């Protein structure tokens, strides 16, 4: 397989992890684009990246760039996606991939028109533990899927200017951490939930600080999700089947699961992959998709999750400034 040239659009925490993931395989990012040029220069120096763009949009016209990783705030994604996809670039975009289903629909259409791979950087779809559990589930080892319970709670300081609570940066629990819980559900559930009930508690800025969500699909598999940005919870996912239940902790980049069997209560610990290598797995799957060998990016699940989040926010009547026109 050819060695693809990656550009990063953004140079925050995730961009650092991307540079480190490539470095772990003896590679470097080809280029860096960022709104603040000085930060891009410092980032390039740190990782030995040869090319820094004077203007952020120059990355789209660079013919040598194969894949762009977008890791800017959620609300900026669609404008960058439009430019990247129209320029014929493959794109791996940080979650949440867009603000809403309408934006994602447009991006998917552009990717199809320009024959490029579009994907959301959702770790759950690439960590080996999920692939292993899914294949064992599909083989019928655990019996019928019945219930899923998801927790994700962070304790973020009540600073209404930080991105978690800032309406102008598409803050709120659902788009920031709920996307993980819903992606986890979608990975294991037979189909997208078509019945959804929810409650929300707002932060002073008007974004969702806490949410509880009940979901059920046509197969009558049920799920609950509890999210919080100002109350710590374990990052825990529990999947209950006829013959066993499975617990995953730190699930966004999970590497271990505990299976408890119903019949005799015995436990099995399953380990696969490594939390530290999360971005390496994403990069590898993306490159296989770009090469046309096999698409394991699960854009179909990304679309289902975005549909759910959009429907939930519609029920709440919660919008972002970009949606109010």
Of the candidates 176, 125, 127, 123, the one whose C-alpha atom is nearest the C-alpha of residue 152 is 176
Q: Which is catalytic among the residues 95, 156, 192, 235?
A: 95
The answer for residues whose C-beta is within 8 angstroms of residue 257's C-beta and 6 or more apart is 129, 133, 246, 247, 248, 269, 270
User: If you write DSSP's letter for every residue of 285-314 in order, what string do you get?
Assistant: HHHHHHTTS---S-HHHHHHHHHHHHHHHH
Q: Are 120 and 95 in contact (CB under 8 A)?
A: yes
- Is 156 in the active site? no
Q: In this structure, what token pair is assigned to residue 183?
A: 């992606």
Euclidean distance between the first and the last CA atom of the chain, given in angstroms as a whole number: 45
Residues annotated as catalytic (active site), given as ranges: 95
């Amino acid at each position: 397989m050819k060695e693809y040239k990656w550009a990063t659009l953004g140079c925050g925490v995730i961009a650092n992890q991307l540079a480190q993931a490539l470095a772990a395989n003896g590679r470097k990012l080809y280029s860096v684009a960022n709104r603040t040029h000085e930060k891009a220069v410092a980032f390039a120096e740190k990782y030995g990246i040869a090319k820094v763009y004077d203007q952020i949009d120059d990355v789209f016209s660079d013919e040598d760039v194969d894949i762009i990783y977008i890791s800017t705030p959620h609300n900026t994604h669609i404008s960058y996606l439009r430019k990247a996809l129209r320029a014929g670039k493959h794109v791996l975009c940080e979650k949440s991939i867009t603000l809403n289903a309408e934006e994602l629909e447009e991006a998917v259409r552009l990717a199809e028109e320009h024959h490029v791979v579009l994907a959301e950087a959702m770790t759950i779809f690439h960590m080996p533990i999920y692939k292993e559990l899914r294949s064992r589930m599909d083989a019928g080892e655990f019996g019928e899927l019945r219930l899923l319970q998801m927790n994700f709670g962070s304790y973020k300081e009540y600073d209404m200017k930080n991105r978690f609570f800032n309406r102008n940066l598409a803050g709120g629990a659902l788009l920031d951490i709920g996307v993980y819980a819903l992606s986890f559900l979608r990975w294991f559930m037979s189909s997208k939930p078509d019945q959804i009930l929810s409650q929300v508690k707002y932060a002073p800025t008007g974004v969702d600080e806490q949410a509880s969500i009940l979901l059920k699909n046509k197969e009558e598999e049920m799920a609950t999700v509890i999210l919080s940005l100002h109350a710590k919870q374990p990052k825990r996912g529990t999947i209950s089947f006829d013959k066993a239940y499975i617990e995953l902790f730190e699930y966004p980049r999970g590497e271990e699961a505990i299976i408890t069997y119903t019949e005799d209560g015995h436990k099995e610990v399953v380990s696969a992959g490594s939390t530290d290598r999360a971005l390496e797995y994403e990069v590898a799957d993306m490159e296989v998709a770009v090469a046309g060998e096999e698409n394991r990016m699960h854009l179909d699940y990304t679309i289902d999750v975005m549909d759910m989040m959009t429907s939930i926010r519609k029920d709440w009547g919660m919008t972002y400034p970009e949606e109010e026109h």
